[in-house]
Chains A and B, each alone.
Chain A
Amino acid sequence: MGQLLGNLLSNYEETAAIILFGIGFCTLLFHRNLVKKILGMNIMDTGVFLYLASMGYIRGRRAPIITDGIQDASAYINPLPAGLVLTGIVVSVSVTAVMLSLTIRLYKRYHTLDIDVVYELARKSEPKR
């Protein structure tokens, strides 16, 4: 138990990332408010990006741009995780935009952001297919 706690504390960035992912995932799954669900999705993605960023950063190494003629790769950090984070952010922004537009459309129709109330209203006004 002590070792587990020690491992979690020494890898605090990864621990924080996984906690953030858990918070986001639960918000997306359990929260009734659609805007908060979208926030949850963003927190979940941010958790993964934090994990990737912490993987890419190695203390004492430089940014991956050749400086002072040093060719040795071990002098620099791995540039790939940063690229993955950027790609992930673009994907996340696109998904957020689509989800927000769907939420606006639902709000215009049902005048509420509560997904349970929307289900109830839909059940009353439109038959199941």
Chain B
Amino acid sequence: MAFIWNFPLFTIVLSLFSGALCMVLRPKAARYYTIIYQCFLIILVSFVLWFTVTSDSQFTYSMGEFPAPWGNEIRGGVLESLVALAMLLVLLASCVAGWHFLKIDIDESKINLYFSVINLITAALMSLVWTNDIFTGYVFLEILTLSACGITIVREVGRTTLAAVKYMILNLMGSGLFLLGVVLLYDFTGQLLMVPMKSAVAAVLTDSESMPALTLSVAIMTIGLGIKSGLFPFHFWMPDSYGWSTPASAAILSSLVSKAYIFLLIKIYYRAVGIDVITQTPILKMLFVLGICGIIFGSVSATSPDTLPRMIGFSSAAQIGYIYMGIGIGTHLGFVAALFQLLTHMVTKALVFLAAPYLEEASDNNIKFIFLQGAARRDRTAGLYFTFGALSMVGIPCLGGFAMKLMYGQAAISDPSSAKMFIIMITLAASSFLNTLYFIRTVIRLYSDPEEKASSERQKLYKAQAENAKRAEGRRGFVIAGAFLMALNLFLGLFPWIFEALINQGLAMFS
């Protein structure tokens, strides 16, 4: 066993330990510790990615050396390493960029607790990515839900508690359904580890009467994870939860937490049930329809709000719809597109969520569009980052969003005889039009002449606040982290074939 095989376990266990350690550290020490620790994790996961890609192999780490079905397993493959690395990079960027607002939004004495919860989130994300056991998946699903609630509620302003309650109720329904699905699958197969479960499913399905019951249990699990990740029509908690959280939390919730649930679902489809079995069920058709509804309704809803956080929240619902549409296509190219969108949205949404509060701060903390007029002129860096993220989501060439839409197009035309091709093409066109409508309108507003809408006294106030914000502690972190996320997005857009190759390699290992 290579020493690298231990690294995935280190990312989980050390994160749990770090969570406890941050509780006793001073606020600044907890922040620096978390940042350094996350850099360390990035190095560990990079090694795992390098090892799995170069050796074209995967490995299974049995905890306590117990064999299936008693033991618990972690699996390291190309796809897990890639997603874990992307998650850690975005998590690090969010923690660095969100510091300025953390100091404003959170009581000084609680900042170390915030980083304690961030470390718990890291442990839960890593577990969901690496685990090979679906019950462990359930346990860390709940830990992730509780931690996500923690980073929402820590900002004791306005409707935060209500947003957290809304988030919890929906998520608990999702967890309950997922647990029921796990138990029903266990009842069928007698296995909790993914690979033995897949063999057992194949054995059970020799009796054709078992198919409806298997479909029901996987469908229950899918609905559970769909609710948790904000699949239409369960997306209405998003604008409140993201809008009321501190920017770092909003970036983590929208970019990482919802993606971890979707990645677990893809893993269950491929490794625990078998993609051949899943394509025989109507589950993918259901996801296809709900994904498209999510894209359209999310985009239409994003055109109407009069506040920036709400618009970004609804846009997240649309972007989640893209991922589910990719899964729903049901072909290999569909899954590749869905996984690429998972990575692109992680990077882009974090950038947008981290830049938007600086634009609000440059407008006397107003969130309404009418007061945000000219905000990108007052804070040019935040304006640039927001515009870059918006253009990527619209689908401007060379950016991540364009490569994603291209992949969806390729997935659609790979089966020209299918009615899905027309539906996907029409959805892509409609969604791009709607994205342009609300994002470009916002960007124009942010760059338009502020004198038209605001009095000169107010303009002076805004400019003074923007200047103060530029000198504020944590500003440099925002500039660096934002530039890093922008570079990542550009890399995704300019070299999508690298990620396509990695995803292909990872999916081949999944099968």
Contact = CB atoms under 8 A, between A and B. Distances in A.
B509 to A, nearest CB: 28
B176 A126 contact: no
Interface in A97-129: 98-99, 102-103, 105-106, 109, 115, 118-119, 122, 126-129
A25 interface: yes
How many A residues are at the interface, by size bracket? 35 or more
Given A87-B135, A91-B139, A102 B70 contact: no
A55 B182 CA distance: 13
Interface in B125-165: 135, 138-139, 142, 145-146, 149, 153, 158-159, 161-162, 164-165
Contacts of B161: 102, 105-106, 109
Contacts of B172: 28, 41, 95, 99
A84 B162 contact: no
A28 B244 contact: no
A103 B149 CA distance: 13
A13 to B, nearest CB: 12
Interface in B254-276: none
Nearest to B140: A91
Interface in A65-92: 80-81, 84, 87-88, 91
B179 A48 contact: yes
B162 A122 contact: yes
A80 B501 CA distance: 40
Q: Which of B161, B164, B187 has the most CB of A within 10 A?
A: B161
B168 A129 contact: no
A44 B168 contact: no
A-B pairs, 4 with minimum CB distance: A129-B243, A126-B158, A44-B176, A129-B309
A119 B162 contact: yes
29 contacts: A28-B172, A41-B172, A41-B176, A44-B176, A51-B180, A80-B70, A84-B183, A87-B135, A88-B138, A88-B179, A91-B142, A94-B146, A95-B168, A95-B175, A98-B168, A99-B172, A102-B164, A102-B165, A103-B165, A106-B161, A106-B162, A106-B165, A109-B161, A128-B239, A128-B243, A128-B310, A129-B158, A129-B240, A129-B243
A87 B179 CA distance: 12
A61 to B, nearest CB: 15
Given A103-B165, A122-B162, A25 B173 contact: yes
A102 B183 contact: no
B434 interface: no
B498 interface: no
Most chain A beta carbons < 10 A, residue from B162, B165, B243: B162
B30 to A, nearest CB: 21
B312 to A, nearest CB: 10
Contacts of A119: 162
A1 to B, nearest CB: 17
A79 to B, nearest CB: 9
Contacts of B307: 127-129
Contacts of B173: 25, 28-29
Contacts of A55: 183, 186-187
Contact of A21 (B169, B176, B186, B367): B176
Interface in B33-75: 69-70
A47 B180 CA distance: 9
Interface in A20-56: 21, 24-25, 28-29, 34, 37, 41, 44-45, 47-48, 51-52, 55
B169 A37 contact: yes
Given A48-B179, A98-B149, 8 more contacts: A25-B176, A28-B172, A55-B183, A95-B142, A95-B172, A99-B168, A102-B164, A129-B310
Contacts of A45: 176, 179
Contacts of B175: 95
Nearest to A88: B179
Contacts of B239: 128-129
Contacts of A122: 159, 162
A118 B162 contact: yes
Contacts of B138: 88, 91
Contacts of A29: 173
A47 B165 CA distance: 23
Contacts of A91: 138-139, 142
Contacts of B169: 28, 37
B166 to A, nearest CB: 9
Nearest to A52: B183
Nearest to A119: B162
Contacts of A24: 176
A44 B169 CA distance: 13
A102 B165 CA distance: 7
A44 B164 CA distance: 21
Given A91-B139, A95-B146, A102 B168 contact: yes
Nearest to B190: A78
A98 B310 CA distance: 26
Contact of B159 (A25, A47, A126): A126
Contacts of B165: 34, 99, 102-103, 106, 115
